[in-house]
Structure 1
C-alpha cells in the first residue's frame, strides 16, 4: 500500500497563544518548540514577529536552535512585517492574505485587483530575501472560489512555495471541505494546507475531509487551543490519520502525544476537559461493569486504540457503575487479594457510598477494603497542631506540629492564602519533598456558613498517583488532613 505523507504545521505558539488569558514566556515557548521538534513536527510557526520586541526575541531564539523543523513567523503582506521576520532569522513566513469580499472591502477597504497586487508584492519581497513562503488565504471558506484560485495561482507564479486554505470562522462541513480542496487541487501544483477553526466543533472532521480532497498538510494546535472555540486539535487529527485514514501517515512520534499535551496544558494554564479525545483524563478510564469486564478480557472490546499508543495508561474508576471484575483488578493494583465474598461486600459498600452522591476516592476504597478485611494501617504522619494567622494586610502564615515516625516536628510556612500557607508548612517535612499536588477540588456538603467542606485532592510521587479526601467544617483543616492522608497512602505503597 502506498502511503501519502502528511505534513504537520504547528501553530500552538502563534494561533494557540491567542487563546484568551494565555501569554507564554520566552523559556516556555522554547521548551514547547523543542518538544515539537523532538516528536517530528514538520513546520513550527514560532509566533508573529510584528507583535513585540519580546516576541521577536522568542522567535529568534527558536530559529537559532538548529531544529529539523522549518521555523516560520506569521506575517501580513506588508514589508514592515516581513522585515521583522527577517530580523528573527526564520526559515519562512506564513503570509496571511484576506480573500473574502467581506474582508477585502470592509476590513482592508480595497478592490480584488489591489488585493492580488498586495499579495504578489509581498511574495516577491519574501522571495527576494530568501524566505520560504506559505501563502494563507484568510477567510478562504467564505471567498469566491474562482477568485480564491486566482489569488493562489498568481502567488505561485511569483514564487509561493505552498498555499493554505483558512476556514477562519469554522463554517465548513466535511462535505464542503472535501469539495473545496478537491476543486483547488485540480489546478494547483504546490502543496495545499488546511487551517480549520472549531466554532461548530468540526475542525478535525473538516481537516480529515480536506486531506481526502487533496490537502497534503494541515495546521493544528496542541490540545486544540486557540481563539474562540479553538483550532484543529493536533492530537485528535494525528491519531485519526494513524488509525482511521489507512493510506495516510505523518512524521509524528505518536507515543509522545500525551507528554506534549500535558506540557502545553501546564505552560498555558488551559484546562483539558476530562472527556477530551486522546488526552483527556477520562479518555482511557472505565467505570461501567460491562465495559471493565470486556476490557480485561480484550481491550479492543471498548477501546479503539490502546492507551500505550499515545503514551497513556488505562485506569478503572471506582464508582457505583463498576462491576466486580474492574474492582478486583483495582484491588490487585493496590496489593490486596480478596475472595469472592469479600469482593462482593467491598463492591456493595462502594455502591452505597456512591449512592449518597459522594466521590469514591482511593482513600475510600482503602478504608472500605480494610474494614472488610479487618486490616488496620498505622499512619506514619500525624497532624498534632495547626495555627493560621491571616488578615487584610498580613501575609498568610501557618505553623504546624507534626509527628513523623514518632519524631515531633515543628514547621512554619507562608502562602498566597491560608490554605496555601498551611500546605506549605506541612510540605517542608522530608516525606513531602517529592510529592506533587496535581489536583485540588472543594465541595460544600451542607448549606450555611457552618457547612461541612469536602476537600478532594490528587497527589503524585514518581509514577504513582493517589487521591485523598478530608471533610471538616474548616476548609484549612480539611485540606491539610486530605494532604497528609494522601502522603500516608503514598508512604504505605
Structure 2
C-alpha cells in the first residue's frame, strides 16, 4: 500500500497566476479527503494571514487525512504551523551544493545543524515530521543518508527526496530510491517535478525502488511544468503494477474538475485519465472495435475514474459510429433523416469541426424541422462601471418554460463589466443550471471605435461542453448573449 501525500494546495497553488481564498482551499481539501488522500499539505503557514486562516479552516473539519504545513528549518515557521493546529510539517531543507552555496549561503555542516535543530523543535511540540531534502536529486547521496538517519534519531517520521527541477530519469530514480530505502531507517517518499515530462514515470520508478509514499497534485499542476499527476500515478499503480492506494478512483474526474474550476486552470482535452478526450473516439475503425468490445481501444473503463466514454463525430466517422451514438443517446431516425444527419456531419467535419452531443441534437432538430425553444430568456441587463466604481451588474431572467413561470433577479460584482454581467447570470442560475465558464476569448473584427467584436465562450455543465460565438459592436452584450445561448443549449 502506497501512501498519497497531496500537495495541490501548496505546490499546486504555486502555479503562476493561481491564488485561492480560504473557502476555496477548504472546498478542495474536502474533495481531497473524500477522494481518500492520506496526507493533505494545506499550505505554508508562514506565507500570510490568509494562508493561516485557510489552514485553520481545514484543520477545524476533523478530516480523515493528516493535515500538513510546509515549513523551512526555522522555529518561526514551525510556530506558525502549530498555531494552525496541523498534524504534521513538511520540513524542507536544501541539500544540493548549488542551493546551499547560492541560496542558503551555508556550508553542509551548517545546513545539517539547522535541519536537525528544526526537527528536534518540531518533535518537542508534538508534530509528525516529514524531513525533506530539496534538490535532492542533484545532491550527494551520502549526505542525504546522513541527514535522514540523524533526523530519524531525533524522531523524524518520514524522509522525502525532492526532484526539484525534474532531472531524474526512471532508471536513476529506481536506483536512488533503492539505495536510500536500504540505508535509511525511516520510510522514504518521492516528490517529483515534470520539467522533462517524466514525473509520473519517475514517481512509479521511485515506488518500485522502495519509496512508500509519493507527493502528487491533482491534474499535475504546480510550478513550471508541474508536479507528478495524482490521477496518472494512482491509476498506473492500480492498473499496471497492481500496487494499491487508498484513493477512491471513481472520484478522480469530479475532483479534477473542482480543482480546475477553483484554480481557473482548464484541463487539457488530451490529459490522461481525466481529460475530456481520454475516453473519446472518432475514427471509424476504433468505434467499430468499441461496439464489439470496449477493451479493444480502452485500457480501463471510463467509469472506473468517474469519466465517461465519448463518441466524437467528425470527418473520420463512419455510419456505424453515428448509429452507435444515436443508440447511446436513445434517438431514433428514419433512413432518410439518418442520411441527412450523416451528410451534415461529414460536411461540418470537412470544415474542421467536430460534432458534440449538443451539436448533434441541433442538427437532428434541423433535419426534423423542429424549432429549439429557449427556456431561459434575458429580460433586462444593467451594468455600472467607472473609474472609482467597482463594476456591478444587475440581471433579470425569465423562464419561457410552460411548467415554470418565474423571474430570476440577481446582482453581482466583477473585475470588469463583462465579468460582473457573467457573474450575475451564474448567480441567478445557481441551483437551477450550474454552468462553468471554461474559456472566454474576444477579438476585434475590423478597425475603428465602432468595430465589431467576436466573443467566443466555452461552457460546461457536467460532462457536456458547448462553444458559442457572438459578434456585436457592444462587448458586454455580445458576451452575455453568447453565454445565454450556451446555457440554453446545455439545458
TM-score, structure 1 as length reference:
0.85
Cα distance between partner residues in 2 of 1:198 and 1:466: 29
Aligned to 2:290: 295
8 Å CA contact 2:39, 2:68 repeated in 1: yes
**1:106 correspondence with 2:102:** yes
Deviation at 1:268, TM superposition (A): 1.5
SS in 2 for 1:186: helix
Aligned to 1:127: 123
SS in 2 for 1:250: coil
Task: Decide which moves more: 433-442 or 304-313.
Answer: 433-442
Match of 1:49 among 37, 45, 51: 45
Task: Decide which moves more: 48-57 or 10-19.
Answer: 48-57
Change (3 A) 1:419 1:299: same
Change (3 A) 1:359 1:82: same
SS in 2 for 1:249: coil
8 Å CA contact 1:468, 1:486 repeated in 2: yes
Deviation at 1:225, TM superposition (A): 1.4
Cα distance between partner residues in 2 of 1:403 and 1:237: 46
The Cα RMSD (Å) is 3.5
Aligned to 2:78: 82
SS in 1 for 2:91: strand
Aligned to 1:178: 174
Deviation at 1:39, TM superposition (A): 2.0
Change (3 A) 1:339 1:412: same
Deviation at 1:143, TM superposition (A): 0.6
Cα distance between partner residues in 2 of 1:31 and 1:429: 21
Aligned to 1:329: 324
**1:458 correspondence with 2:459:** yes
8 Å CA contact 1:469, 1:481 repeated in 2: no
Match of 1:284 among 279, 283, 290: 279
Number of residue equivalences: 483
Change (3 A) 1:439 1:150: closer
SS in 1 for 2:64: coil
8 Å CA contact 2:302, 2:308 repeated in 1: yes
| Per-residue Cα deviation, 1:234-286 (whole angstroms, up to 9, x for no partner) | 1111111111112x110111111112111111222222222111112221222
Change (3 A) 1:295 1:51: same
Cα distance between partner residues in 2 of 1:57 and 1:432: 28
User: Which aligned pairs between 1:126-145 and structure 2 lie closer than 5 A?
Assistant: 126-145=122-141
Aligned to 2:256: 261
8 Å CA contact 2:269, 2:276 repeated in 1: yes
8 Å CA contact 2:455, 2:482 repeated in 1: no
SS in 2 for 1:270: coil
Change (3 A) 1:80 1:415: closer
Cα distance between partner residues in 1 of 2:382 and 2:83: 53
Q: Structure 1: any 5+ residue segments left out of the alignment?
A: none
Q: Structure 2: any 5+ residue segments left out of the alignment?
A: none
Aligned to 1:36: 32
Cα distance between partner residues in 1 of 2:33 and 2:472: 50
Deviation at 1:196, TM superposition (A): 0.6
**1:16 correspondence with 2:8:** no
Change (3 A) 1:239 1:109: same
Aligned to 1:157: 153
Aligned to 1:147: 143
8 Å CA contact 1:400, 1:425 repeated in 2: no
Change (3 A) 1:150 1:258: same
**1:317 correspondence with 2:316:** no
Aligned to 1:307: 302
8 Å CA contact 1:455, 1:469 repeated in 2: yes
**1:222 correspondence with 2:223:** no
TM-score, structure 2 as length reference:
0.86
8 Å CA contact 1:139, 1:169 repeated in 2: yes
Aligned to 1:354: 349
